[in-house]
Amino acid sequence: MANMCTEVADPESLAELVRQSLTDSVPLVDYGRVHEGVGHPPPSVHTRFCQTIAAGGDGIIEHYTRDLTVRVSAGATVRQVNEALRPTHQFLPLDADEDLSIGEVLMHDVYGPLRAGYGSGRDLLLGLRYIDGLGRDIHVGGRTVKNVAGYDVGRLMVGSLGELGIVYEVTLRTYAVPEEVRVVTVALTDPDTLSRNITNLLLTDASPTGLSLHGDASGWRAIFRYCNTHGGCVVQQADLERRLTELAGDTARVESVQTLTPEADETARTAERAWRRQADLLVKVVTPPALTGSVAALLREGGWRIDALPVHGCIFVGGEGNAADALRLDRTINETIDTHGPLGGRGFRVWYNRLADADLIAPFAPPQSDYALLCRIKSAMDPHNIFNPGRYLRG
Amino acid sequence: MSLAHPVINELRAIVGADGVLADRDELLVYECDGFPIARGLPTVVVFPTTTQQVVDCVLAAKRHDLPIIPRGSGTGLAGGAVAYGSGVMIVTTRMTKIESIDIANRVAVVQAGVRNLALTEALAGTGLRFSPDPSSQRAATIGGNVATNAGGINTLKHGVTTNHILGLEFVLPDGQVVRTRDHGLYDGIGPDVRGLMCGSEGTLGIVTRIWCRLAPAPKHFRTIYAVFSSLEGACKTVSDTTATGIVPTSMEIIDGSMIRVVEEAFHFGFPTDAEALLLIEIDGIDQVLDDQLQRIVAICHENGATTVKQCADETRRAELWSARKKTFGAIGRIARSYCTQDACVPRSMLPTVMREIKEIGKRFGLSIHNVFHAGDGNVHPIMLFDEDDPEDVQNTLRCSQAILEYCISVGGTITGEHGVGVEKLHLMPKMFSSDTLDAFNRIKEAFDPERRLNDGKLIPSNRVVIELFKPTAANVPGGAL
């Protein structure tokens, strides 16, 4: 579907596209490059579009180098922006696949292991511009690192699945590129011990910049990342080894230690999650962080592959399968997050990759208590229901 | 006549007689917040202790078609918690339960009236903390922190309130209770209402319960103060440090006139002939802090620091930060009233901006004192005035406006952490296009279609017109209706 979209490279064209959509009463659809499977499918009649950047551009509108902030086109990819920032030794720690646009990352609240150290896009966001459902150009926030003038519509937009407006420009914090990235891979026999002790670990020098947990047929691995000076990495690695012995005993064993450049680490992180794009079935399950390991282990029993972020209680579970497998996986997850299950109602799940015929599976569960209010907000910002209608919210 | 309003007895029935204030003398305490220029008496003040009581109070106000003014401890500095001459003021300061502290998942669930410092104290010994630390943290409620998206001296590295809130419960003006991202999870489905609520100044809902993200409290610090013979040198040090990519925990500047005020009040030992004092703290892994510190000290010297001293121990460090937090208190000793501005500018612009603020002060014949979150570019020029002198009040307001307009012109904003309230309402059209203001209004109406909740704060309203500049109405926002 991606190659059938109308490419839009500038705000004026985008505003025109919205005006046309309002005139024709044909909704605009942009589910992103890798989030096609998130939410209800679009209506049969729609205009599919995607944002890109002008030919020859690098996606950066303005880089306030000394302020460590950057204004970028939402259509620019993470890779484009980071390549453009590299000569200044700064980067955007948006831990997402490099070919995703900045807009897609924010609209789907994509984050990865580095959220532990740098926060997510929500934390980096300073301001944005978007076209609203009346075709108007709206500008909220700004380029200062603190700003409470007006409603924080920018953060409201994060995770909004493109249903409230079309963001075309974003101002974000940047960070200095770390001197070194040290990647410590630890083989685990018991992921539960790690996640139950996550607070204890965060209170030490071994607190990682990034942490992910991976489970597949070969077993469980935790990948700790330290972005620091060389000296800092040495101290943190040594402390990790000591803490692992204290906290996890013989259930954890350091398997390898790599020292990478930040660019090489970016590639490594993308490779670690590459399987998710190929998976027939993929679900994000969110739990209280301390339960990440036990829930991941429970889901792994079904033979599924796991990527998890124990600091934030996020689990991706999936693999190859058919519609019956999807139903089976969905049942297991629902029983887990149910009020009578191990999570006691403290969790949710979102399907990322379902099979086309898996109509019996609701994309989101359980129902969220702010849903009715969110629908009212949608109606206020997109009164004609033209942006990704019905993906999550009733227009 | 307002004393006899029938809503008063209804509110007494909800919260008990000791939870309602309706006598004029008692109401006077609630006629303003930390922005004394705006004053107005509510019809009644009510102190609920539970979410259900808040709901019942909201419904009572609705039955009587009265406006609702939410209020925490009233430490706001922009008139965000001031009544327009009538209305039910719902004060959350008796909602003080810390309901749970979950160390394993790093979440505390608190009622909105829990004081920021009370949570900090409750977390003692856990290694965790609630990071936002506004100067008012002894009194300010966490609900108030949410309403203004409060910052503080640690926010440069550790973020403002919105970065530390996982979920919220709030009451809409029709009495509905909404919970968003509750259960203490670090993710959610769909648009982030919690983000919208942070900094909404009580105009969208009354926050009643908060899921606070707890973060590891830093254990290792290096704290220095550098003395400068020019404010510009201190500002340039901040800008240069930022440009290196080092992210200190705090970079705070106290200017020369303020140093002298603080010294006179607290005798901390700051040099009274200095023109600026720059306090810098870094935190992190003990073994790497000294390297960072040396780089920062070098930048201080490059920019003309005459002295750079490191706090030798925790006691001295605590004294230093205590002095910083007491600066506003010291001002109270030299003036009857003061007005603090809260512009935020790009950090690289600080030297130019501070120079211009001084010039603007001269133009208006005002002496401006400065103590501010320099690392965030968040300036707090303090203007002293006599609130009983209408001309002085007007002059101060005009000076404030000139400063804020200048800050907007260099890419800044009218408020970094205090909020818009009524104070900066007239500047909103200078910050935002009419389309953006209309977009804000549409959002407001999705929450509050009758515009009952703190209307006329944060975004201009066609129902409430505030003329702080109109001499007869200067002290009474409602008086200018």
> Are A15 and A164 within one domain?
yes
H helices present in A183-322, as ranges: 191-196, 198-202, 230-248, 262-272, 274-278, 292-300
Task: Spell out which residues of chain A touch residue B287, defining contact as CB-CB under 8 Å.
Answer: 231-232, 235
> Are B228 and B304 within one domain?
yes
Contact indicator for A171, A142 with CB cutoff of 8 Å: yes
Task: Spell out which residues of chain A touch residue B242, defining contact as CB-CB under 8 Å.
Answer: 66-68
Beta strand A47-51 pairing with A28-29:
parallel
Contact indicator for A186, A221 with CB cutoff of 8 Å: yes
Q: How confident is the model at residue B336 (pLDDT cuts 50, 70, 90)?
A: confident
Contact indicator for A186, A245 with CB cutoff of 8 Å: no
Classify residue A140: in a domain, yes or no: yes
Domain with A65 in it: 2-176
For position A118, which CATH number holds? Answer: 3.30.465.10
Q: Note which residues in 309-368 of chain A have CB less than 8 A from chain B.
A: 311-314, 345-348, 350, 364, 368
Task: Spell out which residues of chain B touch residue A161, defining contact as CB-CB under 8 Å.
Answer: 190
> Are A18 and A109 within one domain?
yes
> Are B353 and B468 within one domain?
yes
CA-wise closest residue to B82 among B22, B6, B48, B31: B31
Task: Spell out which residues of chain B touch residue A67, defining contact as CB-CB under 8 Å.
Answer: 242, 346-348, 377
H or E stretch at A316 = strand A314-319
> Are A238 and A158 within one domain?
no
Q: How confident is the model at residue B477 (pLDDT cuts 50, 70, 90)?
A: very low
> Are A151 and A248 within one domain?
no
Statement: residue B472 has pLDDT above 60: no
| A227-A231-A236 Cα angle (round to 5) | 60
> Are B84 and B114 within one domain?
no
Q: What is residue B476's predicted lDDT score, i.e. its pLDDT? A: 42
Query: Nearest CA to CA, how far is B464 from chain A (Å)?
Result: 17
For A149-203, write each residue's pLDDT tens digit: 999 999 999 999 999 999 999 999 999 999 999 999 999 999 999 999 999 999 9
Query: Is some CB atom of chain A closer than 8 A to the CB atom of B132?
Result: no
- Torsion, Cα B46 B50 B56 B58, to 10 degrees, reads 60
> Are A171 and A187 within one domain?
no
Q: How confident is the model at residue B339 (pLDDT cuts 50, 70, 90)?
A: confident
Candidates A64, A138, A155; nearest CB to B346 = A64
Classify residue A58: in a domain, yes or no: yes
Final residue of a structural domain among A157, A176, A195? A176
Best B166, B186, B347 residue to mutate vs chain A (most A CBs within 10 Å): B186
Per the omega criterion (within 30 degrees of 0), is the bond before A366 cis? yes
For position B169, which CATH number holds? Answer: 3.30.465.10
Share of chain B above pLDDT 70, in %: 95
> Are A186 and A136 within one domain?
no
Q: What is residue A360's predicted lDDT score, i.e. its pLDDT? A: 80
Q: How confident is the model at residue A395 (pLDDT cuts 50, 70, 90)?
A: confident
Q: What is residue B38's predicted lDDT score, i.e. its pLDDT? A: 87
> Are A15 and A160 within one domain?
yes
For position B19, which CATH number holds? Answer: 3.30.43.10
Q: Residue B146's closest chain A neighbor by CA?
A: A148
For A51-91, write each residue's pLDDT tens digit: 999 888 899 999 999 999 999 999 999 999 999 999 999 99
> Are B346 and B472 within one domain?
yes
Contact indicator for B63, B108 with CB cutoff of 8 Å: no
> Are A237 and A318 within one domain?
no
Paired tokens of A74: 């939402």
Domain with B319 in it: 221-331
Task: Spell out which residues of chain A touch residue B345, defining contact as CB-CB under 8 Å.
Answer: 144
Which residues have C-beta within 8 Å of that of residue B64, sequence separation ≥ 6?
B5, B6, B7, B10
Q: What residues form DSSP beta bridges with A224?
A: A184, A211
Q: What is residue B474's predicted lDDT score, i.e. its pLDDT? A: 40
Average of per-residue pLDDT values in chain A? 95
Angstrom distance (rounded) from CA A74 to CA A95: 16
A342-364 mean pLDDT: 87
Final residue of a structural domain among A176, A210, A228? A176
Classify residue A377: in a domain, yes or no: no
> Are B199 and B236 within one domain?
no
A348 vs B367, higher pLDDT: A348
Angstrom distance (rounded) from CA A384 to CA A362: 25
Average of per-residue pLDDT values in chain B? 92
| A221-A222-A223 Cα angle (round to 5) | 115
Angstrom distance (rounded) from CA A260 to CA A185: 13
Contact indicator for B349, B411 with CB cutoff of 8 Å: yes
DSSP result, B100-157: EEETTTTEEEEETT-BHHHHHHHTTTSSEE---B-TTTTT-BHHHHHHHT--BTTHHH
Binary contact (B285, A236; C-beta < 8 A):
yes
Candidates A123, A199, A364; nearest CB to B159 = A123
Integer angstrom CA distances of residue A249 from A110, A186, A225, A241, B444: 33, 12, 21, 11, 54
> Are A11 and A127 within one domain?
yes
For position A246, which CATH number holds? Answer: 3.30.70.2190
Query: Is some CB atom of chain A closer than 8 A to the CB atom of B425?
Result: no
Query: Is some CB atom of chain B closer than 8 A to the CB atom of A394?
Result: no
Task: Spell out which residues of chain B touch residue A287, defining contact as CB-CB under 8 Å.
Answer: 185
For B441-451, write each residue's pLDDT tens digit: 999 999 999 99
Q: What is residue B42's predicted lDDT score, i.e. its pLDDT? A: 96
Binary contact (A152, B458; C-beta < 8 A):
no
Task: Spell out which residues of chain A touch residue B416, defining contact as CB-CB under 8 Å.
Answer: 144, 146-148
Q: Residue A179's closest chain B neighbor by CA?
A: B245
Q: What is residue B194's predicted lDDT score, i.e. its pLDDT? A: 98
Q: Residue B103's closest chain A neighbor by CA?
A: A199
Binary contact (B191, A374; C-beta < 8 A):
yes
Q: How confident is the model at residue B481 (pLDDT cuts 50, 70, 90)?
A: very low
Fill in the amino acid letter for B140: A
DSSP result, B243-280: HHT---SEEEEEEHHHHHHHHHHH-----TT-SEEEEE
Q: Residue A346's closest chain B neighbor by CA?
A: B183
Q: What residues form DSSP beta bridges with A278?
A: none
What's the burial of A275, exposed, middle or buried (CB within 10 Å: 0-12/13-18/19+)? Answer: middle
B38 vs B18, higher pLDDT: B18
Binary contact (A142, B433; C-beta < 8 A):
no
Best A148, A204, A237 residue to mutate vs chain B (most B CBs within 10 Å): A148
B51-80 mean pLDDT: 96
Angstrom distance (rounded) from CA A263 to CA A243: 28
> Are A46 and A158 within one domain?
yes
Q: What is residue A322's predicted lDDT score, i.e. its pLDDT? A: 92
Q: What is residue A343's predicted lDDT score, i.e. its pLDDT? A: 85
Task: Spell out which residues of chain B touch residue A284, defining contact as CB-CB under 8 Å.
Answer: 187
For A193-241, write each residue's pLDDT tens digit: 999 999 999 999 999 999 999 999 999 999 999 999 999 999 999 999 9
For position B296, which CATH number holds? Answer: 3.30.70.2190
> Are B197 and B249 within one domain?
no
Statement: residue B436 has pLDDT above 70: yes
Q: What is residue A292's predicted lDDT score, i.e. its pLDDT? A: 97
Share of chain A above pLDDT 70, in %: 98
Which residues have C-beta within 8 Å of that of residue B215, sequence separation ≥ 6?
B106, B128, B129, B130, B131, B158, B164
For position A350, which CATH number holds? Answer: 3.30.70.2170
Query: Is some CB atom of chain A closer than 8 A to the CB atom of B434?
Result: no
Q: What is the pTM of this model?
A: 0.95
Binary contact (B193, A156; C-beta < 8 A):
yes
Q: How confident is the model at residue B479 (pLDDT cuts 50, 70, 90)?
A: very low
* Number of domain units in chain B: 4
Classify residue A292: in a domain, yes or no: yes
Q: Note which residues in 2-61 of chain A have CB less than 8 A from chain B.
A: none
> Are A264 and A286 within one domain?
no
Task: Spell out which residues of chain A touch residue B378, defining contact as CB-CB under 8 Å.
Answer: 144, 146
Binary contact (B424, A122; C-beta < 8 A):
no
Statement: residue B480 has pLDDT above 80: no
Q: What is residue B387's predicted lDDT score, i.e. its pLDDT? A: 81
Q: Is A43 in a helix, a strand, or coil?
A: coil
Q: What is residue B469's predicted lDDT score, i.e. its pLDDT? A: 60
Q: What is residue A356's predicted lDDT score, i.e. its pLDDT? A: 67
Final residue of a structural domain among B68, B91, B114? B91
Binary contact (A374, B418; C-beta < 8 A):
no
Best B285, B342, B458 residue to mutate vs chain A (most A CBs within 10 Å): B285
Q: Note which residues in 373-392 of chain B have CB less than 8 A from chain A.
A: 373, 376-378
Measured from the Cβ of residue B313, the count of other Cβ atoms closer than 10 Å reads 8
B466 vs B200, higher pLDDT: B200
> Are B121 and B153 within one domain?
yes
> Are B392 and B301 within one domain?
no
Task: Spell out which residues of chain B touch residue A368, defining contact as CB-CB under 8 Å.
Answer: 180, 188-190
Q: How confident is the model at residue B466 (pLDDT cuts 50, 70, 90)?
A: low
For B231-245, write each residue's pLDDT tens digit: 999 999 999 999 898
For B8-36, write each residue's pLDDT tens digit: 999 999 999 999 999 999 999 999 998 88
> Are A155 and A14 within one domain?
yes
* Number of domain units in chain A: 3
> Are B285 and B343 within one domain?
no
Q: Note which residues in 212-241 of chain B have CB less than 8 A from chain A.
A: 216, 239
Statement: residue A281 has pLDDT above 60: yes
Angstrom distance (rounded) from CA B265 to CA B335: 13
Task: Spell out which residues of chain B touch residue A286, defining contact as CB-CB under 8 Å.
Answer: 185-188
> Are B76 and B104 within one domain?
no
Classify residue A389: in a domain, yes or no: no
Binary contact (B245, A89; C-beta < 8 A):
yes
Measured from the Cβ of residue A96, the count of other Cβ atoms closer than 10 Å reads 25
Beta strand B381-385 pairing with B368-372:
antiparallel
